[in-house]
Structure 1
Amino acid sequence: MVIYSRKFIWNCQWDINPPPHQASRGALDYSLFTKGSGNEFVALLVYVDDIVITGSNLQVIESLKSFLHSHFKLKDLGNLKYFLGLEIARSHNGIVLSQRQYVLQLLEDTRFLACKHAAMPMDPKVRLSSFEGELLEDSSMYRRLPRKPHLTAIHHLLQYIKATPGQGLLFSADSSLQLRAYADADWGSCPDSRKSITGFCVFLGDSMVSWTAKK
């Protein structure tokens, strides 16, 4: 996979593109455009004045770059290394996405940069409630945390990410393209509303590409 990042002045609509570079706009994400399939597939992601181009064929990518240069004022930043808080690292094993710099800044802002490590993000036995536990005297730092047990849980989480600042997602170069999904539910587990908590994760080969957990 080849990925490039550029400064992009978005001064007109992508819809003006004539063939052969006419692309399809994403149905769920209007900032994503795709074209072709197989070895001819290429994707373009737009965010304000930045774009990311990725695909499996360098010649197709170079052709798209030349086409964009003819329509917009661009600055090529080369291989993608940092985008929207994500750090991208490459090796012969594949591509790793992490948020190391963001994590270190978060720990510094919360004064947890020198804290002790925690082995788990949260104690699985803890059940937080909006009505149990002592109220916080000063909630200005954590506006959405009503009580001290919530603050304790956040501090424990900060201790966990202190031990794993560079942990991320590996998209293996040798992974298959098989799509797998897993789901689970904890019925009636919310102590306040008795709502269930459900979650799912989706893997492309060995790489997790989507996940969520919610009431």
Structure 2
Amino acid sequence: MTATPVLEFRGVNAGYAGSVILQDLSFAILPGETVGLVGRNGAGKSTTLMSVYGVPTVTGEILVDGEPVGRRAHVPTARGVSLVPQGKRIFGNLTVEENILLGRASGRPTTWSTDDLYQLFPNLARGRKRPGTSLSGGEQQMLAIARALMAGPSLLMLDEPTEGLAPVIIDAIVEALKEIRSRGTALLLVEQHIGMIQKVADRYLALRKGRLAGEGPVSQLGDRAVQELIAL
């Protein structure tokens, strides 16, 4: 018996102010799997993530755990989808720990405690009483991931989590994502850093001009034909 996808797009079209970004997009993410969403800038990767919350104008069906989410932004979070957006969106008037605890606003049960998250990201433990925005860029990214995990997601979506970060921080985030997936959380990862996707993901979905241009195991991302297809 096939498992119910944690996230499924069925013929989704999405855009802003009359401009179409996604066109007839269909795919599914299964429980516990890690998928890399790749493509050149402007292909529609971030729009795909935001479509789950109905931010662009969306037609077609988006389902979480087999149920349509409609156009209510709170529904995906309540059903177990967490997003780590570009820009991190850390609250400077709150401490590191207070930023993490905001994740509990979803009301979902979670297997993650603050101690678990400090073990996952030791830098956060050392700065737990500091303002969130006093952290380095890499530490703020860790904080954004920790806050998203505190919401108890079955699916964690990340939008360019390594953008602008030093290699040593990227390595730390890669190891953290491996630990997260080992605890059964599915991951949907938008990332230009193809080497990272190859280290973390099971398979890839490739977007080109808002359409699904290809998909397969991450081992194929090294193939020249695939790289040319998605213009990486």
TM-score category (smaller protein): under 0.3
| More RCO (CA 8 Å, sep 6+) | 2
Whose helix proportion is higher, 1 or 2?
2
| TM-score, length-scaled by structure 2 | 0.22
| TM-score, length-scaled by structure 1 | 0.24
Whose strand proportion is higher, 1 or 2?
1
